[in-house]
Each structure stands twice: as C-alpha cells, then as structure tokens.
Amino acid sequence: MKLRSAHLTHSMLALVVLLAACTSPERSRSLLTTNVAASTIAMQLCSNCHGMKGISDSPNFPNLAAQPEAYLISQLQGFRGHTRSDKDGYDYMWGITANLNDEQIAGLARYYSEQAPASRKPGSDTKVSAGKVIYEQGIAAQSVPACISCHGEHAEGNQTFPRLAGQHSEYLKKQLTVFQLTNQRPDGAVMKAITHSLSPKDMENIADYLQSISP
C-alpha cells in the first residue's frame, strides 16, 4: 500500500509540473490517456521539457532528437516499469509514462529518432582534446575501454546505445555519475564497470568533447 501511495504521489507531482508549463490543463490531462497519438504527446506534452523537435533548451533535460529508436523504446519502457530510477526519471518520467501503451512508446521513439540532431556547442579546447582521446582510445592504465566501440565513430549511437554527439555536457556528467555511483540504471550495467575508474575530471573532459561533436 505504501509503495502504491508513493507511486501515485510522484505521478501527481509529475503531472503538476507539466500542467504548470501548459496553457490548457484540460488538454494536458487528456494527453495522459492511451488513445492519443504519439506525435501529439510529443508536440504538446514532451515538448515542455525536451523541445518541439527533441532539442532541449535546458541541460537538465536530454536532447532526444536523432536518438536510436531502439534506445528510446528501452528507456521509456524502463521508466514505465520503474527499472530506471535515477532522480530525474523518478521525479518526471515515472508519472508521464505510467499510462503509455506499447504503441505510443514505439511512436514516440520513432518521432524523435527521425528529428535532426542537436547542433554542437564548442567547449574548452583542452577539455575537448582530452575527452576525444578517452572517447577514441579509452584509458588503458585505468582499464577504461574506448567509448567509440559502442557509441560509434561520431558518437551517433547504435541500437540500444544512445547518441551522445551534441548532448548537453551537464546532463552527460550527471548520467556518468549515476552509472558510477548507483544502480539506478540497471539496463546500462556495463557502464557501471566502465565508469568505475573515471575521475570527475575525466567525466568533464568526455562530456565537453561529446557536446562539441558536429551532427
């Protein structure tokens, strides 16, 4: 009973946040039903945090544009099934995904995967250069493998591995820390081992490099 109450509380909190960002509360309530088209949900609800085309203005929320379809499906299913429990996901996404059906999840993934990717944001030359080395070569002395083997030559992502190019550096650092210090993203268990030996400076360098990659 307590777990159910906690879930309902967080679902209501997520709804309140989203309603505050919408001009029509009634419209927002109607969007949290299972008979609304995924494109409508994306443009009228998800856009409040992730932008109309999946490019977020705030580093608190990831860019979804051009993410691999399979990756987006897995993450939305993780939020809906409560297996992904990092704080922002718990606070925002659990409530939003609670009533999404499989067809809507697939539709949202397709919608965002078809959008043009985010533009690069230049960073410190020193950090970008250091991050590029880690991304392409890893850190042998710390048993950190090269990121390129899973995320692609240009960090474009592949199947269940996300696109990292052009992603907000602050968001990337936050997620690297989640992988390193918690078990809140079990579907990315391989990342826990990979990030184990990364220092905060390493994470900062990698994140700055990834944010600087052109589409």
- In this predicted structure, what is the pLDDT of residue 215? 85
Is 30 in contact with 41 (CB distance < 8 Å)? Answer: no
Output the pLDDT for position 123. Answer: 85
* Helical spans, DSSP H, in the chain: 2-21, 25-31, 38-41, 47-50, 69-80, 87-88, 94-97, 102-113, 125-137, 148-151, 169-181, 189-195, 200-211
pTM of the predicted model, to two decimals?
0.85
> 139 in helix, strand or coil?
strand
147-192 pLDDT, tens digit per residue, is: 999 999 999 999 999 999 999 999 999 999 999 999 999 999 999 9
The whole-chain average pLDDT of the chain stands at 89
Distance in angstroms (rounded) separating the CA atoms of residues 203 and 197? 10
Place of tokens 């696109």: 163
CA distance 127 to 74: 31
Q: Domains in the chain, please, with CATH?
A: 2-113 (1.10.760.10), 125-211 (1.10.760.10)
Question: 115, 65 in Cβ contact below 8 A?
Answer: yes
Mean of pLDDT values over 131-139: 98
Q: For the residues 32-53, what does the mean pLDDT come to? A: 91
| pLDDT of 205 over the 70 cut | yes
Q: Answer whether residue 39 shows pLDDT above 70.
A: yes
- pLDDT-based confidence at residue 35 (cuts at 50, 70, 90): confident
List beta partners, residue 144: 139
Which range is least confidently modeled, 14-28, 73-87, 149-163? 14-28
